Structure 1
Amino acid sequence: MIGRTGPDRDRRFLLLYALAWAGGAIAYTPFLTILLPVRIELVGGGDSVQWLAVTTFCGAIMASAANIFFGWLSDRSGTRRPWVLAGLLLSGGLLMLVPRAHSLAALTALILAWQGALNMMLGPLAAWAADVVPDRHKGLLGGLLAFAPASGALTGALVTIPNLAGPTLRLGLVAAITTACVLPIILFGRARRVEDEPPPEQATPVPLLRAMATRMWFARLMIQVSEAALFAYLYVWLRGVDGGFGDAAIARLLAIVLLLAAPAALAAGYAADRRGRPVRPLRIAAVVAAIGLFAMALADDGVEATIGFLIFGLATNIFLALHSAQTLRVLPDSRSRGRDLGLFNLTNTVPSLVMPSLTIGLVPLLGFPALFAVMALLSLGAAALLRGLALGEQRSGR
């Protein structure tokens, strides 16, 4: 048992959980952004671009389905820990088989299996927080989750240091670091379930929770569409504004955004807990993201473009981290948290289906400013959806 008192146990669990969630980001960020494209290029040669697109698309579908399925299985079994451990071991083992895949078909099949195994870990891990983190710590949890993207990006930079490791050892390093981050919560993660705490004075009716969950789902989807579109076309847009931007400068800009967003989200989440206003940081972040997008739409040079992107990037990273934690408040049924969070996870994959058609329809005719204006309206729409959403100190799953 970690900790002798409730507060100590809560804090230690939060830290272990944040470490495990960072491990999840480390498991997929370096692989999907760097190591997999390199491997596909090595195996596929001239067909690498098409196969990367196919693998990414099919992988996103597999990840979505597996996240829902294994979240549901962990609901049915009544425990999360064995699923997290099995997913950790299986995904790490499949990752080490990547160098043995010598055809594009074999590599694609392996990636689909890896996505399934990874979400065997991630789905139940997300529901684990819903089981044990009380509402009074949801903002702090969201702030801690913001360190995960930066951890994934830094690990990618680490394993790709020239002459540090070959292709196989790079995958081994990713698997080892992931295990080191996730294993502590499997071994030492002890916390009292939310249901075992004294009930709130006034529970939220289930129909109201479902309505709130729907609004939270669409608000996140709107932000994620904007974030996914910009992530995919940031390089092209920045080069169009200022031809002096190189890949190294853009990589540094992305790293700065992630590193600044983590402490900012932590401060915002802590303040939300102290003041009992969990939705306010989300609405502010959505509005600030729209301001950043309008600034980008009007940018005429590299400095203005950089400032606009910094505003947008910081706001969206803060929004997404805090939203992930505050979503736990509105899950309508404690018996199906894993399944419901899997459905929320669709907001991370559906944008990859929406974004290409949105971009192709706007950019060739009206340019990137029109795309950014539409994205800004989506961000404002997310803020509007969250207006009047009084989560208060209510506890979900009742």
Structure 2
Amino acid sequence: MYLYALAVSGGAVAYMPFLTLLLPLRVSAMNKAEVLTTLAIAAFVGAISASLSNILFGWASDVTRRRRIWIFGGLLLSSALMLSMPYAGDTNVLIALIVCWQFGLNMMLAPLAAWAGDTIPDVQKGMLGGLLALAPALGALSGAIVTTDMFAGFAQREALVALLVLCMVAPVLFLGKPVAMPHLMDAKGVDIGRDDDNPKPTNPAIRMWLARLLVQIAEASLFAFLLLWFRSLDPRFGENDAASIFAIVLGLSVFVALGVGTWSDRSAKPIMPLILTASLAAVGLIIMAWAPNMAFAIAGYVLFGLASSIFLALHSSQTLRVLPRPHTRGRDLGIFNLTNTVPSLIMPWLTMALVPTYGFDALFILLAGLAFAASILLLTMSRRI
């Protein structure tokens, strides 16, 4: 399980430092006048490529019943394409490489996600979720490493990212010996879904999908506009201040998520932490909307950031409980992955519709409503999972 968590963290390292730091630098060096346009196009077509390829390769690993070979192939392909990024001659070539890279990356990520459902028992899903909280923390840490002064003069920092990913994913492929557990490969009972040739989506699965989508919309909105909001309260608030708060939240979330996840295993209450963290995320957003000064603003964000990070980590593992058909687990997780990509298409329009006219307070209230709705969806879900 530890090697698996390291590999999933390697997946986060594969895209977080590149998309948030190295890609903007690469585009800026090519054409400063078209930075925003190029990044917007890259984000849009990249999200589409990631969404479709995640479903495709999840389904392919279902059909072949071999997860490991697809993970290995995706690791090689995405690493090779990452190494080719510095050689892109113009922005059009770079965008094409990003589309292909997303294709290779999701060849690795989709079967990797499904692998846990085949091999890790439900009684350890909470602990697994806690370990998965390492992924965003290590992804952010890798960005700090590759952008240090030590590597500032290195023209191919993408190679450093590829090396880190290789070192993190390879151990589970060559040293891990997971075995598919027979009871995890059996279809769920009627409380979750039906095992027939054309089963309908199950109620718990739909609720879990919608709940994650709602929380992801809130999380994506805050991630994109956090610095602007802080500066609206205090113009002296700098990038380093925001980065420090973000790092503290991610670091704390690892320990809290691991503790909460382990508790959920021992108490046999897998969904309760999701209900509570979604509610706490909403409370954090309400504090942010009401915050009269910077101290309350930071406190509200820390509460929201911790709660949402724990929710997303634990949700990733507990989702495996509600998927009714093991023989389509990879494909179904690809559909769940849409909750990670769709918010990036919704969030800009949501923000532009509210903030210019009503301010950030209105945005936070709306996002709090979405988080509360996620909590209610899970609260009213069948406990028999």
Q: Place the TM-score, normalised by the shorter chain, in its bin.
A: over 0.9
Alignment of 1:153-302 (within 5 A): 153-195=140-182, 204-207=191-194, 210-302=202-294
Match of 2:74 in 1: 87
2:214, 2:189 → 1: CA distance?
31
Instruction: Tell me which of 79, 83, 108 is aligned to 1:121.
Output: 108
CA deviation digits over 1:260-279, x for unaligned, max 9?
Answer: 11110000000000000000
Alignment of 1:51-130 (within 5 A): 51-130=38-117
Match of 2:30 in 1: 43
Deviation of 1:171 (Å): 1.1
Deviation of 1:209 (Å): 7.3
3-state SS of paired residue (1:191): coil
8 Å Cα contact 1:299-1:305 kept in structure 2: yes
User: Which segment is superposed worse, 165-174 or 130-139?
Assistant: 165-174
Aligned in 2, Cα 1:38/1:198: closer, same or farther, shift over 3 Å?
closer
Match of 1:3 in 2: none
1:234, 1:205 → 2: CA distance?
38
The CA RMSD measured in Å over matched residues stands at: 1.7
Deviation of 1:197 (Å): 6.8
Match of 1:9 in 2: none
3-state SS of paired residue (2:150): coil
- Sequence identity (%): 49
User: Which segment is superposed worse, 50-59 or 201-210?
Assistant: 201-210
Match of 1:5 in 2: none
Aligned in 2, Cα 1:81/1:201: closer, same or farther, shift over 3 Å?
closer
8 Å Cα contact 2:126-2:265 kept in structure 1: yes
Deviation of 1:192 (Å): 2.7
1:335, 1:200 → 2: CA distance?
8
8 Å Cα contact 2:42-2:98 kept in structure 1: yes
Deviation of 1:170 (Å): 1.6
Structure 1: gaps (5+ residues): 1-13
Deviation of 1:201 (Å): 11
Amino acid at match of 2:283: I
TM-score, length of structure 1 as denominator length? 0.92
8 Å Cα contact 2:214-2:370 kept in structure 1: yes
Aligned in 2, Cα 1:222/1:205: closer, same or farther, shift over 3 Å?
closer
Deviation of 1:169 (Å): 3.8
Deviation of 1:280 (Å): 0.4
Match of 2:197 in 1: none
Amino acid at match of 1:35: L
8 Å Cα contact 1:143-1:265 kept in structure 2: yes
1:86, 1:154 → 2: CA distance?
26
8 Å Cα contact 1:279-1:390 kept in structure 2: no
CA deviation digits over 1:63-94, x for unaligned, max 9?
Answer: 01110001111111111000000100111111
Match of 2:360 in 1: 368
Amino acid at match of 1:246: G
1:205, 1:156 → 2: CA distance?
40
2:188, 2:4 → 1: CA distance?
28
1:387 matched to 2:373? The reply is no
Deviation of 1:165 (Å): 4.8
Deviation of 1:202 (Å): 6.7
2:172, 2:155 → 1: CA distance?
27
8 Å Cα contact 2:187-2:324 kept in structure 1: no
Aligned pair count reads: 380
2:211, 2:51 → 1: CA distance?
19
8 Å Cα contact 2:13-2:138 kept in structure 1: yes
Instruction: Tell me which of 327, 336, 343 is aligned to 2:328.
Output: 336
8 Å Cα contact 1:96-1:168 kept in structure 2: no
8 Å Cα contact 1:329-1:391 kept in structure 2: no
Deviation of 1:304 (Å): 1.2
Deviation of 1:54 (Å): 0.6
TM-score, length of structure 2 as denominator length? 0.95
3-state SS of paired residue (1:350): helix
Aligned in 2, Cα 1:167/1:68: closer, same or farther, shift over 3 Å?
farther
2:95, 2:127 → 1: CA distance?
38
CA deviation digits over 1:211-248, x for unaligned, max 9?
Answer: 11000000000000000111111111110011121001
